[in-house]
Amino acid sequence: MSNLSVINTVFSEPFPSRKAFAALRRRIEEQLSSGGFSAGDPFPSEAELVRTTGLSRDTVRKALGELSREGWIERRHGLGTFVGPRASLPISRRIGEGVERARMMGRVAVLGSWFWREGIGWYTAGIMESMENAAEEAGVSIEFLGNRGVDTATVRRRLAQTHPDVLICLLPRAEHALIIAEAQRLEIPTLITGTRLVDIGVPAVREDGAQGARLAVERLVQAGHQRIGLLAWTEGGAWIFERRRGYLEGLKAAAIEHDERLTLWLDRSTDANSPAEAESLGLRNAQLIGRYIQAQRPTALVITASGITFDLSLLVRAGELRVPDDMSIVQFDQAFNIPTPDLKDPTCIALPVGEMGKQLIQLARGAINREPIGIPKPIPCTLVEGASVARIG
């Protein structure tokens, strides 16, 4: 479609005397969203629009500024103005029950952590693999919006420019509430994983941590253990207290009296700002765990995060603890990246990352179809048997 056809359509009616920039912006947006345009097509320049509309340069510049920020157009210095990525949503044709039907391919933007140094690369990789497998069948394309470490202003600008149909935040942090608020302003449905931001009312796809902790206690009780400890981060996330609740429920179901001295709270070494700081925190945690074991004499541990298992492994490396001969453990997370042969295959409570990815795509497709999302039910965890539990008694 030519520049002239855009101009003829946009300016076929006079502009109102008040808020003319909003009317200009709306007309251009309606024209570009009607189809027939591709990203990179030439678009009328600011000077052309001033000349043909009779509007002031400030009015035209304000309208084009908003259209540029939201991705409808792109202004390239020295080259001109072009149609932006938001104007060219792909269309897929699918065959269902012998009847051909057209459906717009939904665009899902993902904000997640892609680096193992943050300790959760396995989590993102598992969810993304499952999402990718489910996306084609659901008629959904997946776009990379940014890494969790990218500053929020950059991500908010990208979000406004590309304007996906759905935003998915994997394990968002507190600062990502600003990005979610921007998505809500742009009327982009948003999904998150985990429990860190569940109190802001965004649908969260997550594991059932309480059920997983009950599984861990049940497995240890089956092996004859009665003095079962709990190691947890001091971070005040809902997921930690959910797993602690499941631990307490597991003890109660086994008729084991709870002893609060068997719970050890540790600072989170995986959130350190440097390798040196992480090493220092890890060593301190290992020393705390060693003193705790000597004082409380547990025979088994439920470990609420694989990062704590890493700290405990320092005791194994130093020859101060043998697993499972001296201590049986069941850890949360299927992150088998412990740098010691003694703990390379721990029995674990595996998070349902595969099911989480499928559910994210299903909910995203529903949101694209303008169906209500609701609050998803937590997905059960599974116990994966390893070599870190020994029978006693």
> Residue 271 pLDDT > 70, yes or no?
no
Mean pLDDT to the nearest integer, 301-318: 91
The pLDDT, as a whole number, for residue 261 is 97
Mean pLDDT of 132-136: 90
Joined together, the tokens standing for residue 142 give 């997946």
What is d(CA 22, CA 24) in angstroms, rounded to the nearest whole number?
5
Task: Choose among 235, 362, 393, 365: nearest CA to 299.
Answer: 393
Residues 393, 220 contacting (CB under 8 angstroms):
no
Handedness of CA 366, 368, 374, 377 (dihedral sign): positive
pLDDT in tens, 63-108: 888 888 777 888 887 788 888 877 765 433 333 333 333 345 788 9
Task: Say if residue 328's pLDDT is above 50.
Answer: yes
pTM for the whole structure: 0.74
Between CA 240 and CA 243 the distance in angstroms is 5
Instruction: Grade residue 173 by pLDDT with cuts at 50, 70 and 90.
Output: confident
Instruction: Calculate Rg over the CA atoms of the chain.
Output: 27
| For range 233-257, the mean pLDDT | 93
User: Above 50 in pLDDT, residue 381?
Assistant: yes
The closest alpha carbon to 210, from 346, 310, 304, 335, belongs to 304
pLDDT in the model for residue 272: 64
369 neighbors 332 (Cβ within 8 angstroms): no
10-14, 53-57, 83-87, 132-136: least confidently modelled range: 10-14
- Comparing 73-82, 108-117, 209-218, 358-367, the range with the smallest average pLDDT is 108-117
CA distance 182 to 176: 10
Torsion of CA 206, 210, 213, 214, to 10 degrees: -130
Residue 124 φ then ψ, to 5°: -65, -45
Q: What residue ranges define each of the domains in the chain, with the CATH number in brackets? A: 3-87 (1.10.10.10), 105-206+354-368 (3.40.50.2300), 209-350 (3.40.50.2300)
The pLDDT score that the predictor gives to residue 125 is: 86
- The per-residue pLDDT for 10 is 61
Q: 229: part of which helix (H) or strand (E)?
A: strand 228-233
Whether residue 324 is preceded by a cis peptide bond, meaning omega within 30 degrees of 0, is yes
Tell me which residue of 62, 78, 69, 71 sits closest to 25, measured CA to CA.
Answer: 62
8 Å CB contact between 101 and 135: no
Place 171 in a pLDDT band, splitting at 50, 70 and 90: confident
- Res 342: pLDDT: 61
Q: Are 347 and 383 in contact (CB under 8 A)?
A: yes
How many residues make up the chain in this entry? 393
Cβ atoms of residues 301 and 231 within 8 Å: yes
Q: Residues 310-337: what's their mean pLDDT?
A: 89
